Amino acid sequence: MSKPMVGIITGSKTDLLIIEKVEAQLKAFGVDYDVTVASAHRTPKKVEAYAKVAAEKYDLIIAAAGMAAALPGVVAARTILPVIGIPIHSKSLGGHDALFAIVQMPAGVPVATVAIDGAKNAAVLAVEILALKYPELKKKLIVFKAQLAKG
């Protein structure tokens, strides 16, 4: 059986501090991933190329973006994979602009959206989705949730 693989894409190198939290949580579950920096606005051809082949490489995608936050939606529009969006905090609007941009997707192009800077939840949600295909992750989630309950 193949191993789970998550594609992580973010619009800016400055977002990598948030992505480190996604990476740490995925590592804790033993889930492989790779990270790509590509902007829906500054490098749209790179984003389109990424999304075009994503279904051949990944089980799902975590897409993080701040401000106008088009990246998760642009990726979701070009792949059949589930996309989890992370709105990134910004100084001007505190990340609310990104949250609204990611959560308000048109019918047929869903993006599961976590809290502003909700990197850990994005990773956990990814693992919960992956557990549908990879039974070994179910056991890890049971342990993880039990540890949460202990505080």
With CA atoms as reference, report the closest residue to 141 among 33, 30, 64: 30
34 marked among binding-site residues: no
78 marked among binding-site residues: no
| Tokens 């051949």 found at | 56
Residue 115 β-bridge partners: none
Residue 84 β-bridge partners: 62, 112
With CA atoms as reference, report the closest residue to 14 among 115, 73, 100, 98: 98
42 marked among binding-site residues: yes
Annotated binding site for substrate: 12, 15, 42
Annotated binding site: 12, 15, 42
